[in-house]
Amino acid sequence: MISLQMMLLDVDPTSYKTVFIGYPMWWYTIPMVMETFFDTYDFSGVTIVPFNTHAGSRDGGTYETIKEREPNAIVLDGLAVSGGNEGSEDTKTEIIDWVNGLKLNE
């Protein structure tokens, strides 16, 4: 998981143009470790692409939460995937369509 790698390695997020940040929905919001993650790192000027798994809450407003935690980042529309369906063909298609729709190469 990117976030854990960044916590273990001394990485400067601002050296990246775009980062994908994924997490499971916990108690209707981002897991507490993600709060620590956003407290620890400054994503100013970085494009954050959020995605999450869930068991019914979808994104639960967490993309807005990330915008609040990282007000100087550009937070794109995320993708909420139902937990347990991550490997299904439908989800693969959904992910491909979502990534292509982000138009990151333009």
Residue with tokens 């798994």: 53
> CB of residue 70 vs ligand FMN: minimum separation in angstroms?
21
Per-residue binder mask for ligand FMN (CB under 6 A), 81-100, x = binder = --x-----------------
> CB of residue 28 vs ligand FMN: minimum separation in angstroms?
4
The DSSP annotation for 66-81 comes to HHHH-TTSEE---EEE
Residue with tokens 């507490």: 32
Q: Does 57 bind ligand FMN (CB under 6 A)?
A: yes
Task: Count other Cβ atoms within 10 Å, centred on residue 12.
Answer: 10
Q: How far apart are CA 95 and CA 66, in angstroms?
A: 20
Q: Does 61 bind ligand FMN (CB under 6 A)?
A: no
Per-residue binder mask for ligand FMN (CB under 6 A), 13-52, x = binder = -----------xxxxx------------------------
Cα–Cα nearest to 3, from 62, 45, 43: 43
Contact residues toward ligand FMN (CB under 6 A) are 24-28, 53-57, 83
